[in-house]
């Protein structure tokens, strides 16, 4: 387990009882409490009620598939009767049963019939549209006449968009929407971006030396980060729908880019940016994942248009972008990165800035920089892992 540096001033449970984080203690020593709070990176206020705890279990269920569920969202469902779990289920991906349908079916197969005294927890509004492989869940949920239904957030799919919530309310059910909304939206960031913008979500992963280098001046980058960080990368590869990589990195590192979790090694869908017209069949990435899983995007394309086409025509909903720095820079310049995952190794590399983000940028002041909003900071062995959203995009002067 990593250490969360930016615990809110509300303090965390430590060995010696309730403790403030080091940062919080220092700030409280210097400033009054309101000013210290302003200076700390605050997590959103997390409701800590029984209902929120049930919804949290629902989100954990939703997140249990080890592979991507896209183009479908991650959904978990819980049925409770007198505070006891009657059944639970999660959606395992396209073509598979929806979480609430499965939870209802499991409850029924146990002989449970008292749905009108039961509560349903689900992180996404039930579906009500027909043009898909699985039947809509709304009729099933209506038929159960649950006493109460908790939904983390509405489904932005224009074919649903609050229709199911309204239908459930019209039926007389007590429906509460918005419990742990922020956490639930984070879980389905890619699905939400797909529905709202018709684009894939891009997560940029980088392993950097403590001074921001992706590789030594000779291009060697094995290994800037430690074993724990690399294990987390494999976990994220497994969960992601597509992996993106620049040709130079592929050529230099001979990466396989499959997801190696314990003994299991799973092929992935790969997008290679740039490189020669035809990729050599002997590239490790092709051997490990198969020729038909590796797609190439020629250099010099308009990246934004190209991602829109990849979404519409090839169903690319999410890209876990593994670099290198030139490709990452292209994505940042086109304002296409949604989420950062940076592993800072403990070494200082120095030398030229060739293998850094924006090696050619010439900012005139820090105010012009691209900013990101850290959401999580953890120690992974001796690496520092920082994760967050891209916050503000500003064009830079070359």
Ligand X SMILES: NC(=O)c1ccc[n+]([C@@H]2O[C@H](COP(=O)([O-])OP(=O)(O)OC[C@H]3O[C@@H](n4cnc5c(N)ncnc54)[C@H](OP(=O)(O)O)[C@@H]3O)[C@@H](O)[C@H]2O)c1
Task: Summarize as ranges the residues that interact with ligand X (CB under 6 A).
Answer: 206-207, 214-215, 219, 221, 224, 246-249, 252-253, 273-275, 297, 299, 301, 303, 322-327, 330, 355
Contacts 24+ apart (CB under 8 A), 275-282: 275/247, 275/250, 275/251, 275/299, 276/247
Q: Two tokens at 358?
A: 């924006």
| Smallest distance from ligand X to CB 236, Å | 13
| Smallest distance from ligand X to CB 274, Å | 2
* Residue among 24 and 297 whose Cβ is closer to ligand X: 297
From CA 238, how far away is CA 258, in angstroms rounded?
8
CB atoms < 10 A from the CB of 137, how many? Answer: 23
* Residue among 27 and 224 whose Cβ is closer to ligand X: 224
Peptide bond into 223 cis (omega under 30): yes
From CA 71, how far away is CA 313, in angstroms rounded?
13
Please report which residue ranges of the chain form alpha helices under DSSP H. 22-30, 33-39, 50-62, 99-109, 138-144, 163-170, 181-187, 189-197, 227-239, 247-253, 284-289, 303-314, 325-333
| Smallest distance from ligand X to CB 202, Å | 13
| Smallest distance from ligand X to CB 341, Å | 10
* Residue among 195 and 249 whose Cβ is closer to ligand X: 249
* Residue among 99 and 327 whose Cβ is closer to ligand X: 327
* Residue among 200 and 246 whose Cβ is closer to ligand X: 246
* Residue among 73 and 274 whose Cβ is closer to ligand X: 274
| Smallest distance from ligand X to CB 251, Å | 8
* Residue among 101 and 271 whose Cβ is closer to ligand X: 271
Closest by CA to 353, choosing from 361, 345, 344, is: 361
| Smallest distance from ligand X to CB 247, Å | 4
Residue matched to tokens 């019939």: 113
Q: Two tokens at 376?
A: 């999580």
Closest by CA to 128, choosing from 172, 98, 84, 88, is: 98
| Smallest distance from ligand X to CB 138, Å | 42
């Amino acid at each position: 387990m990593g250490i969360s540096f930016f615990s809110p001033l509300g303090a965390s449970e430590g060995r010696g009882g309730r403790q403030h984080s080091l940062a919080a203690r220092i700030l409280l020593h210097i400033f009054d409490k309101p000013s210290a709070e302003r200076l700390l990176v605050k997590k959103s206020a997390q409701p800590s009620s029984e209902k929120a705890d049930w919804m949290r279990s629902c989100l954990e269920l939703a997140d249990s598939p080890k592979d991507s569920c896209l183009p479908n969202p991650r959904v978990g469902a819980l049925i409770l009767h007198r505070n006891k779990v009657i059944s639970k289920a999660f959606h395992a991906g396209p073509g598979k049963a929806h979480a609430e349908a499965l939870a209802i079916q499991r409850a029924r197969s146990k002989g449970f019939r008292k749905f009108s005294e039961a509560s349903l927890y689900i992180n996404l509004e039930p579906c009500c549209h027909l043009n898909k492989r699985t039947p809509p869940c709304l009729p099933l949920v209506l038929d159960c006449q649950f006493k109460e239904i908790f939904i983390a957030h509405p489904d932005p799919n224009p074919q649903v968009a609050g229709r199911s919530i309204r239908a459930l309310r019209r039926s007389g059910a007590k429906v509460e929407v918005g419990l742990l909304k922020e956490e639930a939206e984070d879980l389905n960031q890619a699905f939400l971006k797909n529905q709202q913008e018709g684009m894939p979500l891009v997560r940029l992963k980088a392993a950097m030396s403590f001074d921001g280098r992706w590789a030594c001046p000779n291009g060697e980058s094995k290994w800037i980060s430690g074993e724990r960080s690399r294990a987390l990368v494999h976990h994220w590869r497994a969960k992601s729908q597509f992996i993106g990589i620049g040709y130079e990195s592929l050529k230099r590192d001979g990466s396989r880019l499959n997801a190696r979790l314990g003994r299991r090694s799973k092929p992935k869908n790969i997008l290679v940016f740039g490189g020669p017209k035809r990729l050599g069949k002997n590239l490790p990435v092709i051997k490990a994942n198969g020729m038909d899983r590796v797609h190439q995007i020629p250099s010099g394309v308009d990246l934004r248009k190209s991602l829109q086409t990849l979404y519409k025509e090839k169903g690319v909903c999410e890209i876990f972008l593994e670099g290198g720095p030139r490709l990452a820079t292209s994505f940042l310049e086109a304002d296409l990165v949604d989420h950062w995952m940076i592993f800072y190794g403990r070494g200082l590399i120095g030398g030229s800035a060739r293998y850094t983000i924006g090696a050619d940028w010439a900012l005139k002041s820090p105010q012009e920089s691209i900013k990101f909003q850290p959401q999580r900071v953890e120690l992974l062995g001796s690496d520092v892992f920082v994760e967050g959203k891209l916050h503000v995009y500003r064009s830079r002067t070359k």
